[in-house]
Amino acid sequence: MTLLNKLNNKPISVHVTTMGCSKNLVDSEVLMGRLHSAGLQVVHERRMEKADVAIINTCGFVQDAIEENISQILEWISRKEHGRIQKLIVTGCLVKRFKEALQRELPEVDGFYTMDQAHLLVRDLTAGCSPAGQPRRMLSTPSHYAWLKIAEGCDRRCAFCTIPFIRGKNVSRPEEELVEEAQWLARQGVKELILIAQDTTRYGLDIYGKPQLPSLLKELEKVEGIEWIRLHYTYPDKVLYQVLEVMKDSKKICHYLDIPLQHISDPVLSSMRRGHTKALAADILKQFRRQIPDVAVRTTMITGYPGETEQHFQELKEFVESFGFDRLGAFVYSPEEGTAAAGFKHQVPEKVAQKRMEELMELQKNISARLNSRKEGKVLKAIAERKEGPYRVMRSQYDSPEVDTEIFVTDDGTLENGQFYHIQITRAGDYDLWGKPVQTQP
């Protein structure tokens, strides 16, 4: 089946929208690269009055995401009905979970493809034309940073999580392939690599017989042009002790650890089937803070998990308060079809779960304000991200794009996106900082 042929001898125009996480964004970039190499005109999430084809790369992780994605699909169906696009294609995690139901309920969509069918999508859009040369990702992020997906899928079977059903088992990419991609990214002007996977700590176990994240980090450090390497989605695993040794001796690896704990009470962790204990998580965090005192730690927590008592929640609050996470996101538990936890007894009422989430986030707001206030007067190396009103918005090594603290610097016209500066912090808010340059180049 060919969805479209060239119109009036002009390339087919394709508008790609990415929903969900940064891992989905990488999938979109790979798909866009293949389409671009095949001669199509491709844009990502920019306003386009008209396009021949719209592709939505969906997220199907939790119920809120499902509802948001369905809403997005309906919006594009409306645009199709008004003649703004000719064809609508839906791909990604939502299709993986609910393809038959989507096909039945949304006949206006011209094609549903799982992401592992991306080659079929390209074939159908290009009448089987082979891409010119070796397709490369078409980057959608600002030119100075890029996500590097080091593995796909997950072997863990957390009771609340749909990822293993959607993405399958953990499949690592060979180290040499990742280094080669990092070198290519550096040649494109990328200065910051952000490592992602469903579980980065499990990287390499399937192909090397043991976790190889420390080795990969050492190899990526050698890539010329890359100045920052950032770790996301690490699991509370003993391999993090080895990562700690690499991080503390590195000049490139950011003093930043994203470690989604989900909870801290042992009975809840056991019910979640997380496979680690409070003691292990606490010791990992303690060792990072002791050996790298300025490390910024980001985590996520779930409130209202089945069987979570008020005592369990108070234990969680006490731990959050005592450790003082630099960044913390809290989410209300969502019972997902096909997961073990959805069938557990003692489901927590939604109102209770919501109240606990709000209480935890209020606690974190105070912690964040306290930690930010300690930065006043300090000088941080920061990279300029974008212009916003009178400010040039920047990030330090302690902050990941889009989710963490930003530094607002009054722009005198000399500051440029993608460049590093030394910024003295002059004022601190609950979540953001303000500063001034004390040196144009570090």
135-195-271 Cα angle (round to 5) = 120
Phi, psi of 118 (to 5 degrees): -60, -35
What integer pLDDT is reported at residue 7 of this predicted model? Answer: 46
What integer pLDDT is reported at residue 226 of this predicted model? Answer: 97
Phi, psi of 218 (to 5 degrees): -65, -40
Pick the CATH number of 379-439 from 3.40.50.1440, 2.40.50.140, 2.40.340.10, 3.30.360.10: 2.40.50.140
For residues 399, 400, 406, 407, the Cα torsion angle rounded to the nearest 10 degrees is 60
Question: In this structure, is the dihedral angle defined by the CA atoms of residues 355, 360, 361 and 363, taken in order, positive or negative?
Answer: positive
- Provide the residue count of the chain: 442
Q: Which residue has the tokens 């996977």?
A: 197
Tell me if 142 sits within 8 A of 419, measured CB to CB: no
- CATH 3.30.750.24 assigned to 145-373: no
What integer pLDDT is reported at residue 183 of this predicted model? Answer: 97
What integer pLDDT is reported at residue 400 of this predicted model? Answer: 96
What integer pLDDT is reported at residue 337 of this predicted model? Answer: 86
28: closest CA among 38, 41, 15? Answer: 15
Helices (H) and strands (E) in the chain, counts: 13, 18
Domain ranges of the chain: 13-125, 145-373, 379-439
What integer pLDDT is reported at residue 129 of this predicted model? Answer: 66
pLDDT under 50: residue ranges of the chain: 1-2, 5-8, 440-442
Angstrom distance (rounded) from CA 23 to CA 43: 18
201: closest CA among 252, 108, 276, 144? Answer: 276
**Strand runs (DSSP E) across 291-403, as ranges?**
296-303, 327-332, 379-388, 391-396
Say which residues have a Cβ less than 8 Å from residue 104's Cβ, sequence separation at least 6: none
Q: Which residue has the tokens 């125009």?
A: 13
Which CATH architecture describes the domain 13-125?
3-Layer(aba) Sandwich (3.40)
Phi, psi of 315 (to 5 degrees): -65, -40
What integer pLDDT is reported at residue 48 of this predicted model? Answer: 58
Angstrom distance (rounded) from CA 399 to CA 294: 12
| Separation in Å, CA 389 to CA 420, 422, 435 | 20, 21, 15
85-92 sheet: strands from edge to edge: 41-44, 13-18, 51-58, 85-92, 111-113
Angstrom distance (rounded) from CA 436 to CA 89: 46
Please give the structure tokens belonging to residue 398. 């302690």
> What string of DSSP letters covers 154-210?
-----TT--HHHHH-S-EEPPHHHHHHHHHHHHHTT--EEEEE-S-GGGTTHHHHSS
Angstrom distance (rounded) from CA 130 to CA 140: 23
Q: What is the largest CA-CA distance in the chain?
A: 68
Q: Which residue has the tokens 């920052």?
A: 228
Q: Is 154 exposed, middle or buried (0-12, 13-18, 19+ CB in 10 A)?
A: buried
| DSSP summary character for residue 416 | -
What integer pLDDT is reported at residue 6 of this predicted model? Answer: 47
Determine how many CB atoms are found less than 10 A away from the CB of residue 51: 20
Beta bridge partners of 112: 90
In one-letter notation, the amino acid at residue 175 is E
What integer pLDDT is reported at residue 1 of this predicted model? Answer: 39
Beta bridge partners of 228: 192
Please give the structure tokens belonging to residue 332. 């209300």
Phi, psi of 324 (to 5 degrees): 75, 70
What is the end-to-end Cα distance of the chain in Å, rounded? 55
Please give the structure tokens belonging to residue 228. 């920052």
Question: In this structure, is the dihedral angle defined by the CA atoms of residues 131, 135, 141 and 142, taken in order, positive or negative?
Answer: negative
Say which residues have a Cβ less than 8 Å from residue 158's Cβ, sequence separation at least 6: 262, 272, 273, 274
